[in-house]
Amino acid sequence: MSFMPVILWTDALIFALLAAVLALVWFIRRHEHLLAPWRVVAQRPMAMGAALVLGAFVVIGLLDSLHYRERLADSPADAPQYSVEVLSVFDALVSGLRTRQEKTYSAPLAMQLYAKEFIERDGETVRDYPRLKYGGAHLAQADDHRHDIARRALVGLAQGLAVSLLLFGLLAAWQGRRTQMDFGVWLTAWGTGRLGWPGRTVVLILAIMLMLAGVLVQLASGYHVFGTDKVGQDVLYITLKSIRTGLVIGTLTTLVTLPLAIGFGIAAGYFRGWVDDVIQYVYTVLNSIPGVLLIAAAVLIVQVYIESHPEVFDTAAARADVRLLALCLIMGVTSWTGLARLLRGESLKLRTLDYVEAARAFGVSHARIISRHIFPNVFHLVLIAIVLDFSGLVLAEAVLSYVGVGVDPSMYSWGNMINGARLELAREPVVWWQLGAAFAFMFALVLAANLFADGVRDAFDPRLGGRR
Amino acid sequence: MKPLLEVRDLVTGFGATRVVDGVSFRVSAGEIYALLGESGCGKSMTALSLMRLLPDGGRVVSGSVQLGETDVLTLPERDMRRVRGGQMAMIFQEPMLALNPVIKVGEQIGEALALHRKLTGQAGRDAARALLDAVGVPDAARRLDSYPFELSGGLRQRVMIAMALAGEPRLLIADEPTTALDVTIQAQVLDVLRRLRTEQQMGMLLITHDLGVVAENADRVGVMYAGELVEEGARDAFFASPQHPYSRMLFEALPRPGDGGRLTTIPGQVPPLDGSLVGCRFAPRCPHAVARCRSESPDWQAINDQRVRCHLAGALPASSVRDVTVQTAIPASQPLLQVAGLKVHFPIRRGFIQRTVGHVRAVDDVSLDIQAGRTLALVGESGCGKTTVGKALLRLIEPTAGSIALGGETITARNASTLRRQAQMVFQDPYSSLNPRMRVADILLEGMDALGVGNAPQRRGAVAQLLRQVGLPDDAGSRYPHAFSGGQRQRIAIARALAVSPRRVICDAPTSALDVSVQAQILNLLKDLQQDLGLAYLFITHNLAVVEYLAHEVAVMYLGRIVERGSAADVLRAPRHPYTQALVSAVPRIEPHAGEGIIRLAGDQPSPLNPPRGCHFHPRCPHASEVCRQTYPGQTDLGNGHWVRCHWVAGQP
Amino acid sequence: MFAYILRRVLYAIPILIGVNLLTFALFFVVNTPDDMARLQLGVKHVTPEAIERWKVEHGYDKPLLLNAEATGSAQFTDTIFFQHSAAMFAFEFGKGDDGRDIGNEIRTRMGPSLAIALPVLVIGLMVNITFALLMVFFRATYLDLWGVVLCVVLMSISGLFYIIAGQYFIAKLWNLLPISGFAGGIDGFRFILLPVLVSVVAGIGSGARWYRTIFLEEIGRDYVRTARAKGLSEVRVLFRHVLKNGMIPILTGVVVVLPLLFMGSLITESFFGIPGLGSYTIDAIQAQDFAVVRAMVFLGSFLYIVGLILTDISYSWVDPRVRLQ
């Protein structure tokens, strides 16, 4: 084999989570009353548009979670040796971005380095901005620079548009066949927004995303679209790699939170009495410690462990991964209290309802009452909490990395990007592209998550929604 | 005479749904006009349209509302504010929710006074006090500084009325003003409204679902069905001969004293109002409907003093006589369930170490026995502890003291499963008593699973059998509760209780959340089941009409104790305890009260936390004497199993 | 009422003990003083002697819980637990790695923290409530819809962005305010302005949206309909009836954070160079100064619990239903 698959801890958990989500989708599809609120979500243009953007992020994140190590070219076949560098399928797809490394900073789409150097020109040594090794290297003349960029952008736009139109045609054909509609009729229904689902928004957002992707691909093949960082690495590549980190923190943390919040919250509300007292005590204690400090303390401890047990980790990626997982665990342990409190309150209310009394009148066991009567009726709150917490966690990563208790400094993450670029703001002229790229991608992900969360909450909690 | 309020062809819609569809009526000064109908027929929306206070999304589509000289619907919002509260005022159903919880009562009344009568400061305060006096709030000066939560339900509704009167309106709209109140309190509040109408010559639009309330208070009546007014007339004429089939069926669905037969039910449901409605809206449910009814919407027809929208007006057969089947008298046998000395006390913890400083004596020494095939009704107002008795009998609440015996076997915590197979419960609210996330079949299976009844195929067979028994379609089992109406849900709840074949069922006001016509279906069903299965019912309720219809025996509870007990006929027709007398007398009736005058109780039921010394009832009792204030009365036997706890009765020859 | 508050105060003691034990476990049991020393001295080239020296310097050379070598009460007092954890109940935090007394630092740094945090809270509250009431007044119109979208956009932006953008544009590009720094007295005003402005703007999104939900929930209640039926104008209904009820959850939510204002904000203070407790904490985390981190954990928990007690008191103060029962 020319490569060896590597399954990091977070990879395993991510795919376990994916499997769980798919199982849940399958389950929900079979239950009409569970499906109904999702139909409401599916009818909201804002939520569906956001879901599309989220989907794009998730695909990149998943591709970036399939890891492997390449076999060293000169190693013997019977005793293969593998590179210490852990790559992912995503890396393979964008290998150009990864390998085209410059010397140091360069501005977005630039042809020259950001810093002056002594270079040989016409036999003389002058101090000037040198041409980049890769960015715009295909251009013989510096004058063609703007023209080339415009051309590539247009080509990318056209390609994106073409793909969108193709997809739209396929969609129309499929939909037309399914609903027995004439193409023209379907098109009018689509154009006037009477499809029963937000067709216009979905198609529009998809087209915009495809065109953006087209432009990016075209430009990235010849330039560093977002420039390069201090060590000359492509910022677009770093930003895209950071997506996985954001997603892992946003999802795995919740995964840690859920069993704690659901177990303790429902137990406290349902059993009351001393169980409630103990659980309330635990969560008041946890709540009272400032979150950042608790996370900081725990992360410092993990750091000590990692540094004193170097033999456990065979690669740097595995080390960084364990630290990421530890961060998710710690944030999960410190953030279950909010949801637990909510579930406790709801369970307190539910346990007095007549259908629970009716079950008690039959002598139904506590475990059964909780699993059949309480849990299904608080599940919507859990779901709302998952989607609402996601964006907050992505934002928190940046802050924690800034404080120095976030992900491993060697890991690609928006927090590390911001932290690394912050000091460069003092330079003249300013190195802004790293910050800009990190903030822009983070904003896109968080905004999409928030808009989607809004849609989910309105559909699942009619008390808050509906009055829009 | 020019009417005070004239509504013409009012149409109110929410999107495509026309909740009020072409309603016209008039109200004169000094007249009480009652708008009668079941839930969802558009009564409240009519009232809110008049006030232009429709919820978000609703709007008046067409029609006109003339109040005196003012055309209400065309007024600019600024002028409309002067009409609201100043020309017409409104009181709402839930006095608990309709008052602002964090503003003092006096200030809330003062706001209206300042706005419409420019009375502020001391003048405003005096006027507010005068208003509270006028609506019969005792100790009015002190009450001005109370917050709503410090007042009882009856007082809160009086405050609402005072607030409505503050702007000296010419028209008062009362939307189910007494539905949330106990009968004795309802009687007090209705008295106030009637008095005010006479004193101030106000016009009043009374919205209610209760035929009894209409009979005792209204001058004229309009019946609404599915967004339309279907019949209108003077009260006496209407009650003498209702003309619309729907009105008639409402009367026939009402359980009335003295008949034990089956109640008439109205099949089907109110049609959804969003589709295109062709023909008479009641036709699908009408037993007299002819082809014309289904194609052509009927116009108004005048019959003497009444008018009615029915093609068959005047041509309907005379009111069907209810087939009276006499109560099958089941001889008293060995009691199935015996309860002796049942007490449920809830500790009150206070202070620094949560010391128990007292007990709420929710149930205080109650003894009962129920016999096979018979119904014992436990009657009382809210807070008297009747529901607690029901739950304690199933050990859903652990009794503080007392013994429960099933056919001679004493039930303890250890053999509670015996109890659970033999006794089950049907709850009041069909919406909260079924888990929305469980299929009906699973709901029915739950009890059988938990108690290990039969094997799996037997249980599945039992589910189908149960659904048939309570009159639900066979495919109901695979659906979820939200697919069913309130009445159907209550059938499911009854089927769930019957699933473990109990011999006694505790029914906790199972019809109080339902409309009259649906209530009739459930009462019929309960009666059938009793006859078929020989069930014993403990029927907990505050509705005396239902008691008279269903119960063999009655126990009346007041503040955690039974004050009177006997056969239904004895207790309800010849009540002896002053409380029972007042309770029976306070129920609004369609028939004029026979003989003796109406007894009105003063004040509210005291808190069970701190019951009065001596006889609990003495502060409200018209016959209280010194001994009543000192000692709790013992049991006085009146023969035929009828007894009371009352010094006054004991002292009579 | 008094008994109730006393009970709440006494309930705080087991909580603080719990916090104390938890920090003790985290800092001394899971992570031994040897580990700390190794981390501080650099993992690779460290000798046992250096570790011992470091431990002695910081007073971590004693047994954890029980000193078998000592006699009498010193068996318990001459331990890490007693000297470093239990002592915190007396607010004796010891010295940081820089040799300064932590208690002293806390006292001097509270002022600057408060100078930023208090204006942020007060101005933020006013701005958010105004914004929320505006949206509620125009509810179910496009103004409200776009207001909510704007809130979502604002809250989707990282807090770090607000700070960096504020510093870059307002201070560096337009030179309106100093980029960072702090001074006491009147002179300090210009230093405070930018951090306060940035923090308030950063909080509008989530704050205004949350308050809007609270007000909308109130406006759907029956008493609002009653107030309208009286003939009150919409503005009066909003300000007198809705605001008064809506302020109950808002105020109690504010009271709980009041004591925590002393702690300052980590990020804001560190970016703007405010010598408050927030930047003190962040410096300690970055320098891995365990003594300071421990002290701040204890202080934070203490202030949070004070906040909880104040919340209970304020609840009964603003809500007559609680006060009079």
- B472 and B524 inside one domain: yes
The position carrying tokens 């956009």 is: C153
Asked whether B577 and B405 are in contact (CB, 8 A), the reply is no
Both tokens of C314, joined, read 């304020």
- B281 and B246 inside one domain: yes
For residue C125, what pLDDT is reported?
A: 94
Q: What would the mean pLDDT of B78-88 be, rounded to a whole number?
A: 91
Both tokens of C46, joined, read 């460290």
By the CB < 8 Å criterion, does A462 face chain C? no
By the CB < 8 Å criterion, does C229 face chain B? yes
By the CB < 8 Å criterion, does B639 face chain C? no
Instruction: Answer whether residue C83 shows pLDDT above 80.
Output: no
Count other Cβ atoms within 10 Å, centred on residue B322.
14
For residue B160, what pLDDT is reported?
A: 93
Among the ranges A396-405, A421-430, C116-125, which has the highest mean pLDDT value?
C116-125
By the CB < 8 Å criterion, does B171 face chain C? no
The 10 Å CB-count burial string (b at 16+, else e) for A89-104 is ebbeebeebbebbbbe
Instruction: Decide if the complex's ipTM is over 0.90.
Output: no
What are the backbone angles phi and psi of residue A31, rounded to the nearest 5°? -120, 110
Nearest CA in chain C to B92: C226
Instruction: Answer whether residue B328 shows pLDDT above 60.
Output: no
Instruction: Answer whether residue A343 shows pLDDT above 90.
Output: yes
Asked whether A75 and A2 are in contact (CB, 8 A), the reply is no
Distance CA B571, CA B574 (A): 6
CB contact set of B453 (below 8 Å; sequence gap of 6+) = B421, B447, B459, B462, B499, B500, B501
For residue B260, what pLDDT is reported?
A: 61
What are the backbone angles phi and psi of residue B487, rounded to the nearest 5°? -65, -40
By the CB < 8 Å criterion, does C3 face chain B? yes
The position carrying tokens 């293969």 is: A80
pLDDT tens-digit map of B403-441: 888 877 787 777 777 778 888 999 988 888 999 888 899
Nearest CA in chain B to C226: B98
- Assigned domain for A212 exists: no
B interface test, pick of A272, A354, A377 with most B CB neighbours within 10 Å: A354
Q: What would the mean pLDDT of C73-91 be, rounded to a whole number?
A: 74
Q: What would the mean pLDDT of A5-13 be, rounded to a whole number?
A: 90
- Assigned domain for A308 exists: yes
* DSSP string over B31-72: -EEEEE--TTSSHHHHHHHHHT-PPTTEEEEEEEEEETTEEG
By the CB < 8 Å criterion, does A40 face chain B? no
Q: B144 or A142, which is more confident? A: B144
Domain ranges, residue B517: 335-651
- B440 and B474 inside one domain: yes
By the CB < 8 Å criterion, does A456 face chain C? no
| A33 vs B contacts (CB less than 8 Å) | 436-437, 480, 482
Report helix, strand or coil for A121: strand
- B423 and B554 inside one domain: yes
Q: How far off is chain C from B302, nearest CA to CA, in Å?
A: 35
CA-to-CA separations, C105 to C278, C280, C300, C304, in angstroms, rounded: 12, 9, 15, 20
Least confident of A25-29, A167-171, C94-98: C94-98
- B164 and B203 inside one domain: no
Beta-bridged to residue B59, according to DSSP, are B13
| B163 vs C contacts (CB less than 8 Å) | 226, 230
Nearest CA in chain C to B90: C229
Closest Cβ opposite residue B53 in set C223, C228, C233:
C228
Both tokens of A165, joined, read 């139109």
| A381 vs B contacts (CB less than 8 Å) | none
For residue A317, what pLDDT is reported?
A: 86
The 10 Å CB-count burial string (b at 16+, else e) for C222-256 is bbbbbbbbbbbeeebbbebbbbebbbbbbbbebbb
Q: A127 or B390, which is more confident? A: B390
By the CB < 8 Å criterion, does B388 face chain A? no
A14: left (phi over 0), alpha (psi -120 to 50) or beta: alpha
Instruction: Answer whether residue A78 shows pLDDT above 50.
Output: yes
Q: How far off is chain C from B180, nearest CA to CA, in Å?
A: 14
Instruction: Answer whether residue A462 shows pLDDT above 70.
Output: no
- B24 and B35 inside one domain: yes
Asked whether A230 and A104 are in contact (CB, 8 A), the reply is yes
Q: Which of B309, B325, B353 is the last residue of a domain?
A: B309
- State how far Cα B154 lies from the chain centre: 15
Q: How many domains does chain A have?
A: 1
Both tokens of A167, joined, read 């997809």
Instruction: Answer whether residue C30 shows pLDDT above 80.
Output: no
- Assigned domain for A264 exists: yes
Least confident of A306-310, B156-160, B373-377: A306-310
pLDDT tens-digit map of A371-402: 999 999 998 889 888 888 898 999 999 888 88
- B163 and B174 inside one domain: no
Count other Cβ atoms within 10 Å, centred on residue A220.
21
Q: B563 or B16, which is more confident? A: B563
Q: Which helix (H) or strand (E) is B78 found in, with range?
A: helix B77-83
Q: What would the mean pLDDT of C233-256 be, rounded to a whole number?
A: 89
pLDDT tens-digit map of A257-290: 999 999 999 999 999 889 999 999 998 998 888 8
For residue A1, what pLDDT is reported?
A: 61
Q: How far off is chain C from B78, nearest CA to CA, in Å?
A: 8
Give C126: exposed, middle or buried? Use CB within 10 Å, 0-12, 13-18, 19+: exposed
Asked whether C224 and C237 are in contact (CB, 8 A), the reply is yes
Distance CA B440, CA B430 (A): 13
State percent of chain A over pLDDT 90.
38
For residue B453, what pLDDT is reported?
A: 81
For residue A162, what pLDDT is reported?
A: 94
Distance CA A74, CA A79 (A): 11
Relative orientation angle of helices B440-451 and A354-361, to the nearest 10 degrees: 30
Q: pTM to 2 decimals?
A: 0.88
For residue B360, what pLDDT is reported?
A: 84
State percent of chain C over pLDDT 70.
97
Q: Which of B142, B168, B194 is the last residue of a domain?
A: B168
| B89 vs C contacts (CB less than 8 Å) | 229-230
Q: A297 or B205, which is more confident? A: B205
Long-range CB pairs of C118-124 (<8 Å, 24+ gap) are C118/C261, C119/C192, C119/C196, C120/C195, C120/C196, C120/C199, C120/C200, C120/C203, C120/C265, C121/C254, C121/C257, C121/C258, C121/C261, C123/C196, C123/C200, C124/C199, C124/C200, C124/C203, C124/C204, C124/C207
Distance CA C205, CA C132 (A): 10
- B133 and B222 inside one domain: no
Distance CA B182, CA B152 (A): 11
- B81 and B115 inside one domain: no
What's the CATH number where B409 sits? 3.40.50.300
| C264 vs A contacts (CB less than 8 Å) | none
For residue A212, what pLDDT is reported?
A: 93
CA-to-CA separations, B149 to A121, A147, B104, B153, B612, in angstroms, rounded: 90, 76, 10, 9, 22
Nearest CA in chain A to C295: A293
Q: How many domains does chain B have?
A: 3
- Assigned domain for A325 exists: yes
Asked whether C264 and C277 are in contact (CB, 8 A), the reply is yes
Q: Which of residues 437-476 of B touch A (CB under 8 A)?
A: 437-438, 442, 446-447, 449-451
Q: What would the mean pLDDT of B129-141 be, rounded to a whole number?
A: 89
User: Is the dihedral angle over the CA atoms B507, B508, B510, B515 positive or is it negative?
Assistant: positive
C-alpha radius of gyration, chain A, whole number: 26
Q: Provide the mean pLDDT of chain A.
A: 87
By the CB < 8 Å criterion, does B14 face chain A? no
B interface test, pick of C217, C223, C241, C319 with most B CB neighbours within 10 Å: C223
- Assigned domain for B547 exists: yes
Long-range CB pairs of A281-287 (<8 Å, 24+ gap) are A281/C14, A281/C15, A281/C18, A282/C18, A283/A336, A283/A337, A283/A340, A283/A341, A284/C15, A284/C305, A284/C308, A285/C15, A285/C18, A285/C19, A285/C22, A285/C301, A286/A333, A286/A334, A286/A337, A287/A337, A287/C304
Confidence of residue B398 (pLDDT cuts 50, 70, 90): confident
Among the ranges A310-314, A420-424, B233-237, B274-278, which has the highest mean pLDDT value?
B233-237
By the CB < 8 Å criterion, does A435 face chain C? yes
Distance CA A259, CA B157 (A): 47
DSSP at C81? I
Distance CA A79, CA B262 (A): 92
| B98 vs C contacts (CB less than 8 Å) | 222-223, 225-226
CB contact set of C277 (below 8 Å; sequence gap of 6+) = C106, C109, C110, C113, C262, C263, C264, C269, C296, C299
- Assigned domain for B511 exists: yes
Q: Provide the mean pLDDT of chain B.
A: 87
Instruction: Answer whether residue C61 shows pLDDT above 80.
Output: no
- B164 and B229 inside one domain: no
Q: In this complex, do B100 and C227 lie within 8 Å of one another by their Cβ atoms?
A: yes
Q: How far off is chain C from B27, nearest CA to CA, in Å?
A: 19
Confidence of residue B351 (pLDDT cuts 50, 70, 90): low
By the CB < 8 Å criterion, does A203 face chain C? no
Instruction: Answer whether residue A464 shows pLDDT above 50.
Output: no
Q: Which of residues 345-374 of B touch C (CB under 8 A)?
A: 350-354
Closest Cβ opposite residue B451 in set A362, A373, A377:
A362
What subunits touch chain B, counting only 3 or more CB pairs under 8 A? A, C
Confidence of residue B335 (pLDDT cuts 50, 70, 90): confident
- Assigned domain for B324 exists: no
Q: Which residue, among B374, B481, B491, has the nearest Cα to B436 in the 3D structure?
A: B481
What's the CATH number where A377 sits? 1.10.3720.10
pLDDT tens-digit map of B490-523: 999 999 999 988 888 999 988 888 888 888 889 9
Instruction: Answer whether residue A221 shows pLDDT above 70.
Output: yes
For residue C46, what pLDDT is reported?
A: 73
Q: Which of B168, B200, B222 is the last residue of a domain?
A: B168
pLDDT tens-digit map of C166-222: 988 888 888 888 878 887 777 778 888 899 999 999 999 999 999 998 999 899 899
- Assigned domain for B471 exists: yes
**Cis bond before residue A429 (omega within 30° of 0):** yes
- Assigned domain for A135 exists: no
Domain ranges, residue A435: 239-464
Q: In this complex, do A443 and C297 lie within 8 Å of one another by their Cβ atoms?
A: no
B interface test, pick of C9, C230, C247, C252 with most B CB neighbours within 10 Å: C230
Q: Which residue, among A432, A437, A427, has the nearest Cα to A115 in the 3D structure?
A: A427
Q: Which residue, among B153, B162, B54, has the nearest Cα to B107 in the 3D structure?
A: B162
Q: What would the mean pLDDT of A128-134 be, rounded to a whole number?
A: 82
Q: What would the mean pLDDT of A339-352 be, rounded to a whole number?
A: 92
Q: In this complex, do C225 and B115 lie within 8 Å of one another by their Cβ atoms?
A: no
Q: Which helix (H) or strand (E) is B564 found in, with range?
A: strand B561-567
Relative orientation angle of helices B486-498 and B440-451, to the nearest 10 degrees: 20
Asked whether B534 and B373 are in contact (CB, 8 A), the reply is yes
Q: How many CB pairs under 8 A join A and B?
A: 66
For residue A467, what pLDDT is reported?
A: 33
For residue B444, what pLDDT is reported?
A: 92
Least confident of B218-227, C65-74, C154-163: C65-74
By the CB < 8 Å criterion, does A33 face chain B? yes
Q: In this complex, do B51 and C229 lie within 8 Å of one another by their Cβ atoms?
A: yes
Q: Which of residues 116-175 of A touch C (CB under 8 A)?
A: none
Confidence of residue C45 (pLDDT cuts 50, 70, 90): low
Nearest CA in chain C to A299: C285
| B482 vs A contacts (CB less than 8 Å) | 33
Q: In this complex, do B53 and C226 lie within 8 Å of one another by their Cβ atoms?
A: no
Q: In this complex, do B425 and A33 lie within 8 Å of one another by their Cβ atoms?
A: no
- Assigned domain for B321 exists: no
| C3 vs B contacts (CB less than 8 Å) | 350-352
Q: What would the mean pLDDT of B15-31 be, rounded to a whole number?
A: 89
For residue A185, what pLDDT is reported?
A: 81
Asked whether B430 and B509 are in contact (CB, 8 A), the reply is no
Q: What would the mean pLDDT of B161-165 be, rounded to a whole number?
A: 92
For residue A199, what pLDDT is reported?
A: 83
- B567 and B437 inside one domain: yes
Q: Which of residues 333-392 of A touch C (CB under 8 A)?
A: 391
For residue B266, what pLDDT is reported?
A: 83
- Assigned domain for B485 exists: yes
Q: Which residue, among C112, C48, C121, C122, has the nearest Cα to C280 in the 3D structure?
A: C112
- Assigned domain for B293 exists: yes
Report helix, strand or coil for C158: coil
For residue C192, what pLDDT is reported?
A: 87
**Residue type, position B161, single letter:** I
Closest Cβ opposite residue A363 in set B391, B420, B436:
B420
| A353 vs B contacts (CB less than 8 Å) | 432-433
- Assigned domain for B248 exists: yes
Q: Which helix (H) or strand (E) is B361 found in, with range?
A: strand B355-371
Closest Cβ opposite residue B81 in set C231, C241, C318:
C231
Least confident of B235-244, B438-447, C51-60: C51-60
What are the backbone angles phi and psi of residue B351, rounded to the nearest 5°? 75, -165
Confidence of residue A465 (pLDDT cuts 50, 70, 90): very low
- B267 and B234 inside one domain: yes
Closest Cβ opposite residue C35 in set A290, A308, A399:
A308
Q: Which helix (H) or strand (E) is A128 found in, with range?
A: strand A124-128
